[in-house]
Structure 1
Amino acid sequence: MSDLRGRIALVTGGGSGLGAAIATALHTAGAEVVIVGRDATRLDAVVARLGERARALTCDVSDEVSVRRLADHLEGAEVSILVNNAGIAGPVAALTDVTPGEWDEVFAVNVRGTFLMARAFLPGMVARGAGDVINVASVSGKRPLAHRTPYTASKMAILGLTASLAFEVGPAGVTVNSLSPGPVAGDRMSRNFRLEAERSGRTVAQAEEAFVSRAALGRMVTEDEVGSAVVAMLAMPGMCGADVDLSAGMIA
C-alpha cells in the first residue's frame, strides 16, 4: 500500500458504500480523511469506526452554496487528494418513462457535483503544484446499459470531464484520473436487480445472473477492491487523464 501520511484526502459520498470503503482504504494508508455527504448520522458512524485522522462534514455536492461553505470550512487545510465519489443510481426505466426531474437529479449529483467540487479544490492544488483528483465513473459509462440512460450518460460525462481536466491542470503538477468500477456487490446493486426484476418479470436472482454473467470473472467486484484501487492509483504518479477499469472483466 502507498504511504499517504501527511496528506489530506477529501472523499464525497463517504457515509456508506463505496465512499466509506474508499475513505477506509485511504485512512489505512495513512491519510487524514475528510468524508463528506448529506447524512450526518452515517458520516459520524464512519468517523467513529476510523478514529483519529478522520472527520466528517455535511455537504450537498450538487449545491454551489453548500460546496462553497465546505471549501470555506477547510480553508487552510491542504487538501491534496480529492475523490469525487458522490453519485446516485437514478431510475431503472425506459428513457421515455424517465421524467425530466429524474434526469436532472442524476446529472446534478453525478456531474454537477463533480464539477463544483473540482472547481472549489483545484485552485489550491494548482497553487501548490501538486495534487490528485480521482473521479469515480462506471463501466456503465463505457458500454450500453438499457433502462439506465440517465446514469450511463452521466458517467460518460465524467469520463469526458476527467480527460479534458487532466490537460488543464496536468501542466501544474496535478493529476486527474477516473476509476470505473463494474457492478459492486452491495445495497445499490441489490436495489437495481430488484427494480430490473420488477420491470422485466424475472426473479431477482435471474436479473443478477444476467448482469454478472457478462464479466470475465463471473462476479461483481467488492467495495474493498474499489478502495484498494484508489490507493493503488495514487501510487502511480505518472498516470494522468486515464480511466482505470475495475469491472471483473465486464468490458474485456
Structure 2
Amino acid sequence: MRSLTGRTALVTGGAGPLGQAFAGALAEAGARVVLAGRDKEALTEAAARVGADRTAICDVADPSAVGSLAVELADEDVSLLVNNAGVAGPVLPLTEIAPDAWDEVFAVNVRGVYLMCRAFLPPMIAAGRGDIVNIASVSGKRPLLNRTPYTASKMALLGLTRTLAGEVGPQGVAVNSLSPGPVRGPRMSRNFRLTAELTGCSEEEAERDFASRAALGRLVEETEVADALVAMLAMPGLCGADIDLSAGMIAPA
C-alpha cells in the first residue's frame, strides 16, 4: 500500500460537492491538496472547509487557462491529478439537443481532461512517477435515457484513460478512472427534477426509479466515492483500470 503523505494532489472541479469530498479525503490521507475551479469565492470557501492547501482559478476547457495554471503551479510537485471537473449537460431526447449544448459537455468532460493531462504529465514523466485518476461515470457504460452527450462523453473518457495508461505507464505514471453511479448530491437532485419535468412524474419517483437500477437499490454517498479514490491511489499495481462504484447499477431493459 502506497502512502500519500508528502505528495501534492491537484483536484479540478474542486468547489463542487464531489471535488470537496475528494480533497478532504486526500488531505486526511496526508497529501498536500490544490483545488482548481472557475469560481474564486467558492474555491476559497471549499478550501477552508476541507483543509486544502491552495486554490487556483482555471477553466479546464480553455487551453490558455490550463497553460497558465501549469505555470502558476510550477512550484508544486503535482504527482496526483484528479480530473473531476465535469458538466451534466441537458436532459432531453437527442433530437432536441442543440449543437452548442452538446459541444459544451464534450469541451469540459473530454477536452478538459485532455488539456489537463497534456499540461501536467510532462513533469510526472520526467520524475518517473505520478497518478492520474479521471472521474468517469457508470453512465458511460450503461444506457441513461435522454442524456446522450453526457454518456457519450464519459464513454470517451474511458477510452482516453485506457489508451493514455498504455502510453505513459511504462514511464512510471499510472492512469485510471473511477466510475461512480448515482451519487447523492445537488447534481443528481437537478437531474431528478429535470427528469420529472420531462416525464411528468414526481422528483421522488424519478429518484426511486433511478436508484432501483442498482443492486443495492440506493444512491452512492460522496464519502464512499472519495474513499474509493484514496484506495485506488494506495494500490501500486493499478493502471489502465476503471473502478465501478455504483451500488451495483444494472442497465435498464
TM over 0.5: yes
| CA deviation map 1:93-127 (0-9, x unaligned) | 00000000000000000000000000000011011
Aligned residue identity for 1:134: V
Partner of 2:149: 150
| CA deviation map 1:143-197 (0-9, x unaligned) | 0111000000000000000000000000001100000000100000000000000
Partner of 1:116: 115
* Aligned-partner Cα distance in 1 for 2:73–2:42: 20
Alignment of 1:18-33 (within 5 A): 18-33=18-33
Alignment of 1:1-252 (within 5 A): 3-51=3-51, 54-251=53-250
Q: Displacement, 1:49? A: 2.0
* Aligned-partner Cα distance in 1 for 2:227–2:50: 16
Identity across aligned pairs (percent)?
Answer: 65
Q: Are residues 194 and 2 of structure 1, via their aligned partners in 2, closer, same or farther at CA, if it must alter by over 3 Å? A: farther
Q: Secondary structure at the match of 2:89?
A: coil
Q: Displacement, 1:251? A: 3.7
* Aligned-partner Cα distance in 2 for 1:170–1:3: 19
Aligned residue identity for 2:85: A
Q: What is the Cα-based RMSD across aligned positions, in Å?
A: 1.2
Unaligned runs of 5+ in 2: none
Q: Are residues 251 and 235 of structure 1, via their aligned partners in 2, closer, same or farther at CA, if it must alter by over 3 Å? A: farther
- The alignment of Structure 1 onto Structure 2 pairs a total of residues equal to 251
Unaligned runs of 5+ in 1: none
Moved over 6 A (4+): none
* Aligned-partner Cα distance in 2 for 1:85–1:2: 22
Q: Secondary structure at the match of 1:145?
A: coil
